[in-house]
């Protein structure tokens, strides 16, 4: 079991490019493999989660050529997948399981989807209900609608469906099924959640429209998608860890390049700006997904805020690191309407609250969120990730602010979404050492200058001979 040892930093001056977006990478192999023709994907995230989707599509007959790491040519099967010889292993990835459930619901064969211990605890009822209404037969082999999930595909019918939770995985499962049903499928979301599936479907030529401020999505099914080139931008949710670190650290400077700036993902920027951060956003390209540069020129001085309501789905993966920002801010930070956090890779309300307490932060756990009392010194700690990648990374960030070295245990899970996290963390910590060295050299030079000035002024003060 891997651990991360983290020493506190006092300065930060970094330029980073985070790896490809996880959500877009999943969709690139799933939709690229389903569409007709070739899809070239560059910047694919080579993480364990995305590999699970890639291997599942290969197991259903999709051929892929590797051009280089993260650069693939996918030969799509024009809507006709092959029955997999074995059950599909979705690993730790809820996105793989729920999106594939929607995809195979319209195929004329039976598929069994299973995952690791964490995924086996996650609710699948949300996809079972609409896909059953559309005509597929789904069975959860775990208790209480938990995986493994067996999907018997069928000729589907379109539906009009009001989603009970604002979940992009659920919306995408319905749209992937709707793609295979003749007529109009309509999905209504309680709040707008990430729209990567809709954007990619449109990019591939599907007839899709959004209404009601993005809450309603209408898709005409039974059309052939045509594969197209896709450039996957950097994952905003990975960038979030460094954004919070830089926003909280006095005088910090940070530039993040080629990072995804889809507005359904970037609400953290609004949260941090409300907390007092100054962040410059520069959109460089607006292909099917916008991306660009984010810059913080001087971090420090955060104050507490409230995150709730419609903002929640657009910060859902950033909530653990927002709680960390709250611990580093003056005053109180409230997170509410975020009950969904209870059914993520871990119960993120309980895990975050437990870890914050280990670092000496006062926190009140609520059924749908938490209250974080910030601004007190952070005590060095030893915490366990509980196998949850975002917990491991969020608390690695908090450890940068502690009063001594900390240990994050069980950090292998970071590979599910951010394989180069440790490298980037080292870069931040080494940058601080280099900074201390520069500061040391600077101090020596200032002392030298002072001594020289004194000498000169003494010489100047001597009476001319």
Stretch that binds ligand S3P, among 166-174, 179-187, 265-273, 357-365 (CB under 6 A): 166-174
- Cα 236 from chain centroid? 6
End-to-end CA distance of the chain: 77
The residues in 188-227 that bind ligand S3P, with binding defined as CB under 6 A, are 194
User: Nearer to ligand S3P by C-beta: 9 or 316?
Assistant: 316
Interface characters, 259-288, with ligand S3P (x: CB under 6 A): ------------------------------
Stretch that binds ligand S3P, among 63-71, 162-170, 244-252, 400-408 (CB under 6 A): 162-170
Among 317, 318, 410, 432, binds ligand S3P (CB under 6 A): 317
Active-site residue flag, 317: yes
Q: Using the rule CB under 6 A, is 316 a contact of ligand S3P?
A: yes
Among 169, 180, 238, 266, binds ligand S3P (CB under 6 A): 169
Q: How far is the CB of 400 from ligand S3P (least distance, A)?
A: 24
Q: Using the rule CB under 6 A, is 168 a contact of ligand S3P?
A: yes
Both structure tokens of 347: 């119960």
Q: Using the rule CB under 6 A, is 238 a contact of ligand S3P?
A: no
Interface characters, 325-354, with ligand S3P (x: CB under 6 A): ---------------x--------------
User: Nearer to ligand S3P by C-beta: 138 or 173?
Assistant: 173
Structure-token match 């379109």, residue found: 158
Q: Which of 317, 388, 410, 432 is catalytic?
A: 317
Q: Using the rule CB under 6 A, is 118 a contact of ligand S3P?
A: no
Closest of 254, 313, 265 to residue 290, by C-alpha: 265
The residues in 71-100 that bind ligand S3P, with binding defined as CB under 6 A, are 94-95
Stretch that binds ligand S3P, among 161-169, 326-334, 433-441, 444-452 (CB under 6 A): 161-169
By CB under 6 A, name the binding residues for ligand S3P: 23, 26, 94-95, 167-169, 172, 194, 316-317, 340
Catalytic residues, by residue number, are 317
């Amino acid at each position: 079991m891997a651990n991360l040892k983290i020493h506190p930093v006092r300065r930060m001056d970094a330029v980073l490019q985070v790896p490809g977006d996880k959500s877009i990478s999943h969709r690139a192999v799933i939709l690229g493999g389903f569409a007709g023709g070739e899809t070239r994907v560059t910047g694919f995230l080579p993480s364990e989660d995305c590999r699970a989707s890639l291997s599942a599509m290969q197991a259903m007959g999709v051929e892929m050529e590797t051009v280089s790491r993260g650069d693939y040519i996918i030969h799509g099967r024009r809507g006709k997948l092959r029955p997999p010889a074995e059950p599909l292993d979705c690993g730790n990835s809820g996105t793989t399981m729920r999106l594939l459930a929607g995809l195979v619901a319209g195929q004329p064969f039976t598929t069994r989807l299973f995952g690791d211990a964490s995924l086996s605890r996650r609710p699948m009822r949300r996809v079972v209900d609409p896909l059953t209404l559309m005509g597929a037969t789904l069975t959860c082999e775990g208790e209480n609608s938990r995986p493994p999930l067996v999907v018997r595909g069928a000729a589907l019918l379109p539906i009009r469906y009001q989603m009970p939770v604002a979940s992009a995985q659920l919306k995408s499962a319905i749209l992937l099924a709707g793609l295979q049903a003749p007529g109009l499928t309509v999905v209504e979301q309680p709040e707008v959640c990430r729209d990567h599936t809709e954007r990619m479907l449109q990019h591939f030529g599907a007839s899709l429209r959004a209404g009601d401020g993005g809450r309603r999505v209408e898709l005409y099914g039974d059309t052939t998608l045509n594969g197209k080139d896709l450039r996957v931008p950097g994952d905003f949710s990975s960038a979030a860890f460094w954004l919070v670190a830089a926003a909280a650290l006095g005088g910090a400077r940070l530039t993040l390049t080629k990072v995804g700036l889809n507005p359904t993902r970037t609400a953290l920027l609004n949260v941090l700006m409300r907390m007092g951060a100054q962040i410059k956003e520069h959109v460089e390209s607006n292909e099917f997904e916008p991306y660009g540069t984010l810059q913080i020129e001087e971090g420090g001085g955060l104050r507490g805020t409230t995150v709730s309501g419609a903002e929640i789905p657009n910060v859902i993966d950033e909530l653990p690191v927002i709680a960390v920002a709250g611990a580093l801010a003056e005053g109180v930070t409230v997170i509410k309407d975020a009950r969904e956090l209870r059914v993520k890779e871990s119960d993120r309300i309980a895990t975050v609250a437990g870890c914050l307490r280990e670092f000496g932060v006062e926190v009140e756990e609520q059924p749908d969120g938490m209250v974080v009392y910030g601004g007190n010194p952070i005590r060095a700690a030893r915490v366990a990730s509980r196998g949850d990648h975002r917990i491991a990374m969020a608390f690695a960030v908090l450890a940068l602010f502690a009063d001594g070295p900390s240990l994050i245990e069980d950090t292998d899970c970071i590979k599910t979404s951010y394989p180069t996290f440790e490298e980037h963390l080292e870069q931040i910590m080494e940058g601080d050492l280099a900074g201390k060295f520069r500061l040391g050299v600077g101090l020596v030079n200032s002392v030298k200058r002072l001594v020289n000035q004194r000498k000169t002024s003494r010489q100047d003060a001597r009476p001319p001979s």
